[in-house]
Structure formats: structure tokens, C-alpha cells
């Protein structure tokens, strides 16, 4: 009997229904009602390419949905006046960074208050603005005020913030404290080197943690400090567009804040003094100089080693001393010089205040005024030239080493112009024009026009009418671009007189 054949026990595989459709040139795969495993198997029967195409199509669709639905985080502020409030750094008593929500909550509260106040004062009618909270701004790190100031400068430039508010919370149980700080971006206040850089709003302030909002009854000092900070910020908004009367209103309200106790008021007194000086310089009516001096003195009474206020007061003293060129107050020049020397000798001044550079610049200013007042006990033009050359040398040295030269740009543009004036006084018109051209290259928009018109004056004095006409035309074009009707009228008058 032949051997029996073995019967296979393996069950035949079920036949897959032929319901796969590949339609169109995109090879879109459509499967029927199958299990997930069966559908995957069906897809791969046609190779890996159809599956890859499907995934790519899904990815594109999701990207489009996310682009239109999910809000995108801005990387730079774009308005005329930009305020950013960074998340306050939270540290323990040893300076070690710790996690927690207190820094974010407090900074969010301040940014919301600033936004609310800007809306209430209808700031948008005068200047477009933007306010960022901690989620958009990030954190300013650093264990010391100097390190935080350096980090604030970098961040302010990166996001184009005019004012960057930051600070540190020290968590230490019942001894917890808060140190508010702010940074004024020199790139945004190019004609206001007297206020740019880092500032502290007083010493560390006691703070109850965890932070659950500001309750006036529980934290009156904190309420007062935050209100003052908000008012200062509002004043700076107007300061940035040369509306000094409006700025003074908010600065003075900050100085009168009843719940702002202890130190820190020297900052707002400084700002008030600066606003008076800038207002008088704008109108060439120096009747407010005594008020400026009074506020600088108040700042020094609050902080005797406040270098910015010393320089501000010295500025007022020499301006007052030289108002009447036929009857100059030589003792006033001396008092101003003594204050500048004191400021130069101070330690622990913030690097962003540029105390040394400002001292050399204002020494040069005093020397020019002594020469204009016909003080002949030494060559004051040579003394002025030495001081302004020091300023320009500092700027050029920093620029070559990429070491924070931008903060000196405003002073340096004025120093170049004064070197041009000195060359003109010595009869060297070509050198004078060269210095003024260097000034125009880095000057603010207003002074680009002002110093360009001075180039026209130099050409006119040298009898070079065609070059003078071109310079005046350029100055007029700059004034038109800046919508500066007063300067436009002045430059047009110079051009008409020449023709």
C-alpha cells in the first residue's frame, strides 16, 4: 500500500478583497473597513512611497492649520514706544536661582497695570506703543546689579524695548525682598544720554510671599513703588517724543507718591531735572534752569553719591554762568568743574551711566564757554579740544573692540561737531567741515539736520556758494522727513539769504 500523503494542518490565508484604489497622480491610498494591521499591510503592498506621501500631506495640512490658528510669538517690538517687563528673577538668600511663580505673577501684574494706564491716558493719540509681559520678554539674569544691567542691555537691543523693567525677588521666609530695576535703551533715546542705562528704584523692598496680588493694606510700600514705576514709565513715553511738559506731569506725580517710602526718589528727581533742561534747550529759553537745579539738589540730598545728579547739576551751573557772554559768572564755571571732579571720583557707579565720558564732555563745554566769555588766563580752545578728543577717542576705541560704543554715540556726535567749531575758530574751514560730516554720520535725526546746516554755514563763510546751497537743501530734506517744521523754516531762511 502506498504511503499516505501528509495532510497540511496550516490554514489557508484569507483572501484580501481587492478594494484598494489609487486615484490620480498623487497616489492617494483609500482602504475599506479593515483592521488597523490589515490596512497597514495593504498600504505597504504598494511599497513605502504611497505611505510617505500620505504622511507628507498630513504634515502640510497640520502646518497650515497651526500657522493660522495658533498665535505666533513676536521676536521684536515694533511700535514708537515699547515697554517690556521681564519675569523677575527669583533667588534664595545665597543668590541661587530657584523655581516658582512669584516672579512671573508680580511682573505680569506690573505689565498689566502699565497697559491699563497707557490706555486710560489715551497715549495712542500721541504715540503708538507696545507693552510686553514676562511671557513675551523672558528673564534678565544675574547675581549682581551690574550683571543684570549688562543682560538687560543685551535683551533690550534684541527685542527693541525702549524701557525694560526687571529685578530680583529674594525668597527668605519672612525676610523676602524685592528689588525693582529698569533699563532705558540708548538706541531708543539717542538724544537723551543723560537718562539712558540702568536705574534702581530704591533699595530692596520687603515682600510677602507667595505673591497673591498687591493688597494695599498688606503691602502699602510695594503699592507705592509700583505706582511710582508706572508713572515714571508714562513720563518716559512723553520724554521719548520731546513732549517735556507732559513728561514733567507724570514725573512730578511719581515724586509725590505718598506710599513711596525710603530710598529711590533720587531717580525721579533726576528725571525732572533732565526734563527741565531738555525743555529749555528745545525752546532756547532757560528760565527753568533754577527748577532743574533744585531737583538735582533734591536727588543729591536723597543720595549724596549719585553721579548722574552731580553731572546734571554741573550742567545747569555752567549753562547759567555763560548765559550773558558779556558778564559771565566765572565762579559758576568753577563750581561746575568741582562737581564734575567729584562725580569722576565716585566709585560703584553703573557702567551704563558713562560717568567718565560725560565728565570729559562737559569739561570741554565749560572750556568753550570760558573762551566765549573771553577768559584769557589759558588757551581754553586747546583745553576744549583735548576734552572732546578724549570723548571721540573713547568712542572709536570701543567701536573697534565692539565694546558698547552705541551708548556713547550721542555725546560723540556732539563732540565731533564741537571739534568742527574749534577748527572753524582757528580758520581751518576744511577741517571744520570734515568734523561736522563725521558728526552727521552718527547724529540723531534732529541733529543730522542741524549739523548739516552748519556745514552749509561753513561753505558759505568760505565763499563756496554751490556747496552751501547743497548742504542747506540736504538739511531741509532731513527736516521734511522728520516733520520738523521749525527747523525747516530756519534752514529755508538760510538758503534764501544765500541766494
What average pLDDT does this structure show over 473-488? 93
Give the model's confidence band at 404: pLDDT under 50 very low, under 70 low, under 90 confident, else very high.
confident
Phi and psi (nearest 5°) for 140?
A: -100, 110
| Number of residues written out for the chain | 499
Give the model's confidence band at 17: pLDDT under 50 very low, under 70 low, under 90 confident, else very high.
very low
Which of 245, 261, 277 marks a domain boundary? 261
DSSP H helical segments within 256-379, as ranges? 265-283, 289-302, 307-321, 330-344, 355-372
Is 422 within a domain?
Answer: no
State how far the Cα of 328 lies from the Cα of 288, in Å rounded to an integer: 19
HSE (side-chain half, CA atoms, 13 Å) at 305: 6
User: Does 217 lie in the same domain as 105?
Assistant: yes
Q: Residues 188-230: pLDDT tens digits?
A: 676 667 777 888 877 777 777 777 666 544 677 777 888 888 8
Q: Residues 421-459: pLDDT tens digits?
A: 999 999 999 999 999 999 999 998 889 999 999 999 999
Give the model's confidence band at 66: pLDDT under 50 very low, under 70 low, under 90 confident, else very high.
low
At CA 53, angle to CA 48 and CA 55, rounded to 5?
95
User: Does 26 lie in the same domain as 144?
Assistant: no
Q: Which three cell numbers stand for residue 365?
A: 563745554
Q: What does the H/E/C string look like for 190-254?
A: CCCCCCCEEEECCCCEECCCCCCCCCCCCCHHHHHHHHHHHHHHHHHHHHCCCCHHHHHHHHHHH
Q: Kindly report whether the peptide bond that precedes residue 210 is cis, defined as omega within 30 degrees of 0.
A: yes
Q: Is the pLDDT of residue 14 over 60?
A: no
Is 342 within a domain?
Answer: no
Q: Which long-range contacts (CB under 8 A, 24 or more apart) does 327-333 make?
A: 328/369, 328/370, 328/373, 328/375, 330/370, 330/373, 330/375, 333/366, 333/369, 333/370
State how far the Cα of 382 lies from the Cα of 369, in Å rounded to an integer: 13
N-to-C CA span, the chain: 135
Give the model's confidence band at 96: pLDDT under 50 very low, under 70 low, under 90 confident, else very high.
confident
Of 88, 252, 259, which Cα lies nearest the Cα of 171?
88
What average pLDDT does this structure show over 296-316? 95
Kind of pairing, strands 21-23 and 81-85? unpaired
State how far the Cα of 390 lies from the Cα of 400, in Å rounded to an integer: 15
Looking at per-residue confidence, does 219 or 314 come out higher?
314
Is 300 within a domain?
Answer: no
Q: What is the pLDDT of residue 94?
A: 84
State how far the Cα of 484 lies from the Cα of 486, in Å rounded to an integer: 6
Q: Is the pLDDT of residue 387 over 90?
A: yes
Of 379, 359, 360, 363, which Cα lies nearest the Cα of 371?
379
Q: Is the pLDDT of residue 303 over 70?
A: yes
Residue owning grid cell 523692598: 205
User: Does 205 lie in the same domain as 89?
Assistant: yes
User: Does 159 lie in the same domain as 37?
Assistant: no
Give the model's confidence band at 177: pLDDT under 50 very low, under 70 low, under 90 confident, else very high.
confident
> Where does residue 380 rank: exposed (0-12), middle (13-18), buried (19+ CB within 10 A)?
buried
Looking at per-residue confidence, does 465 or 102 come out higher?
465
Is 364 within a domain?
Answer: no
Is 339 within a domain?
Answer: no
Give the model's confidence band at 281: pLDDT under 50 very low, under 70 low, under 90 confident, else very high.
confident
Lowest mean pLDDT among 14-18, 125-129, 273-277, 418-422: 14-18
What does pLDDT average to over the chain?
A: 84
Q: What is the pLDDT of residue 73?
A: 57
Q: What is the pLDDT of residue 144?
A: 87
Give the model's confidence band at 155: pLDDT under 50 very low, under 70 low, under 90 confident, else very high.
very high
Residue 22, strand partner residues: 29
Q: What is the pLDDT of residue 58?
A: 66
Residue 179, strand partner residues: 168
Q: Which three cell numbers stand for residue 267?
A: 531717580
Looking at per-residue confidence, does 185 or 415 come out higher?
415
Q: Which three cell numbers stand for residue 22?
A: 489609487
Q: Residues 340-377: pLDDT tens digits?
A: 999 999 988 888 889 999 999 999 999 999 999 999 99
Q: How far is CA 161 from CA 11, 75, 116, 217, 382, in A?
A: 75, 11, 18, 33, 40
HSE (side-chain half, CA atoms, 13 Å) at 93: 5
User: Does 41 lie in the same domain as 85?
Assistant: no
Is 225 within a domain?
Answer: yes
Which of 209, 236, 261 marks a domain boundary? 261
User: Does 84 lie in the same domain as 25?
Assistant: no
Conformational region of residue 276, where left means phi above 0, alpha means psi within -120 to 50, and beta covers everything else:
alpha
State how far the Cα of 146 lies from the Cα of 404, in Å rounded to an integer: 14
E strands, 135-210, are: 163-171, 177-184, 197-200, 205-206
Looking at per-residue confidence, does 22 or 339 come out higher?
339
Which of 12, 44, 69 marks a domain boundary? 69
Is 25 within a domain?
Answer: yes
Q: What is the pLDDT of residue 195?
A: 76
Highest mean predicted confidence (pLDDT) among 3-12, 119-128, 170-179, 392-401: 392-401
Kind of pairing, strands 177-184 and 129-132? unpaired
User: Does 58 lie in the same domain as 195?
Assistant: no
User: Does 139 lie in the same domain as 27?
Assistant: no
> Within a 10 A sphere around the Cβ of 65, how many other Cβ atoms?
10
What average pLDDT does this structure show over 97-111? 88
Of 406, 417, 447, 404, which Cα lies nearest the Cα of 188?
406
Q: What percent of the chain has pLDDT over 70?
A: 82
User: Does 146 lie in the same domain as 37?
Assistant: no
Is 82 within a domain?
Answer: yes
User: Does 144 lie in the same domain as 38?
Assistant: no
Q: Is the pLDDT of residue 235 over 70?
A: yes
Give the model's confidence band at 247: pLDDT under 50 very low, under 70 low, under 90 confident, else very high.
very high
User: Does 91 lie in the same domain as 63?
Assistant: no
Which residues form the domain of 29? 21-69
Q: How many structural domains are present in the chain? A: 3
CA 420 to centroid of chain Cα atoms: 29
Phi and psi (nearest 5°) for 205?
A: -115, 135
Highest mean predicted confidence (pLDDT) among 29-33, 404-408, 425-429: 425-429
Looking at per-residue confidence, does 73 or 390 come out higher?
390
Report the SS3 class of residue 287.
helix
User: Does 225 lie in the same domain as 81?
Assistant: yes
Q: Is the pLDDT of residue 488 over 90?
A: yes
Residue 167, strand partner residues: 180
Amino acid at each position: 500500500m502506498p504511503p499516505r500523503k501528509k495532510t497540511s494542518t496550516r490554514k489557508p490565508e484569507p483572501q484580501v478583497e481587492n478594494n484598494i484604489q489609487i486615484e490620480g497622480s498623487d497616489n492617494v491610498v483609500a482602504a475599506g473597513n479593515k483592521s488597523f494591521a490589515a490596512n497597514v499591510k495593504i498600504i505597504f503592498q504598494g511599497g513605502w512611497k504611497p505611505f510617505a506621501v500620505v504622511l507628507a500631506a498630513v504634515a502640510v495640512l497640520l502646518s497650515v492649520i497651526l500657522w493660522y490658528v495658533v498665535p505666533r510669538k513676536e521676536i521684536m517690538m515694533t511700535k514708537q514706544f515699547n515697554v517690556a517687563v521681564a519675569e523677575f528673577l527669583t533667588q534664595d538668600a545665597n543668590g541661587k536661582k530657584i523655581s516658582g511663580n512669584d516672579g512671573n505673577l508680580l511682573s505680569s501684574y506690573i505689565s498689566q497695570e502699565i497697559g491699563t494706564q497707557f490706555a486710560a491716558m489715551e497715549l495712542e493719540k500721541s504715540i503708538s506703543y507696545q507693552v510686553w509681559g514676562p511671557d513675551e520678554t523672558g528673564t534678565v539674569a544675574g547675581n549682581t546689579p551690574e550683571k543684570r544691567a549688562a543682560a538687560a542691555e543685551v535683551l533690550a537691543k534684541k527685542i527693541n524695548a525702549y524701557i525694560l523693567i526687571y529685578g530680583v525677588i529674594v525668597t527668605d521666609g519672612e525676610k523676602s525682598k524685592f528689588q525693582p530695576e529698569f533699563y532705558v535703551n540708548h538706541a531708543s533715546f539717542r538724544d537723551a544720554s543723560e537718562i539712558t542705562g540702568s536705574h534702581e528704584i530704591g533699595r530692596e523692598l520687603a515682600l510677602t510671599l507667595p505673591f497673591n496680588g498687591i493688597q494695599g493694606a498688606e503691602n502699602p510700600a510695594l503699592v507705592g513703588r509700583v505706582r511710582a514705576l508706572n508713572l515714571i514709565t508714562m513720563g518716559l513715553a512723553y520724554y521719548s517724543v520731546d513732549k517735556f511738559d507732559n513728561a514733567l506731569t507724570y514725573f512730578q506725580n511719581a515724586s509725590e507718591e505718598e506710599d513711596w517710602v525710603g530710598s529711590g526718589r533720587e531717580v525721579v528727581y533726576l528725571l525732572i531735572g533732565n526734563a527741565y533742561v531738555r525743555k529749555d534747550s528745545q525752546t532756547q529759553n532757560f528760565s527753568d534752569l533754577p527748577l532743574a537745579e533744585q531737583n538735582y539738589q533734591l536727588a543729591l540730598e536723597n543720595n549724596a553719591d549719585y553721579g548722574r545728579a552731580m553731572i546734571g547739576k554741573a550742567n545747569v551751573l555752567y549753562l547759567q554762568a555763560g548765559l550773558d557772554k558779556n558778564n559771565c559768572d566765572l565762579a559758576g564755571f568753577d563750581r561746575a568743574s568741582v562737581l564734575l571732579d567729584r562725580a569722576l571720583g565716585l566709585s560703584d557707579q553703573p557702567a551704563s551711566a558713562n560717568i567718565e565720558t560725560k565728565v570729559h564732555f562737559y569739561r570741554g563745554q565749560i572750556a568753550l564757554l570760558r573762551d566765549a566769555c573771553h577768559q584769557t588766563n589759558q588757551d581754553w580752545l586747546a583745553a576744549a579740544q583735548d576734552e572732546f578728543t578724549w570723548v571721540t577717542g573713547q568712542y572709536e576705541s570701543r567701536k573697534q573692540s565692539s565694546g558698547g560704543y552705541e551708548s556713547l554715540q550721542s555725546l560723540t556726535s556732539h563732540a565731533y561737531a564741537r571739534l568742527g567749531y574749534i577748527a572753524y575758530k582757528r580758520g581751518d574751514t576744511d577741517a571744520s567741515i570734515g568734523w561736522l560730516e563725521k558728526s552727521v554720520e552718527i547724529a540723531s535725526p534732529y541733529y543730522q539736520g542741524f549739523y548739516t546746516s552748519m556745514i552749509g554755514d561753513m561753505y558759505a563763510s568760505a565763499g563756496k556758494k554751490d556747496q552751501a546751497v547743497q548742504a542747506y537743501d540736504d538739511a531741509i530734506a532731513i527736516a521734511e522727513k522728520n516733520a520738523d517744521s521749525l527747523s525747516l523754516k530756519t534752514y529755508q531762511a538760510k538758503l534764501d539769504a544765500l541766494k
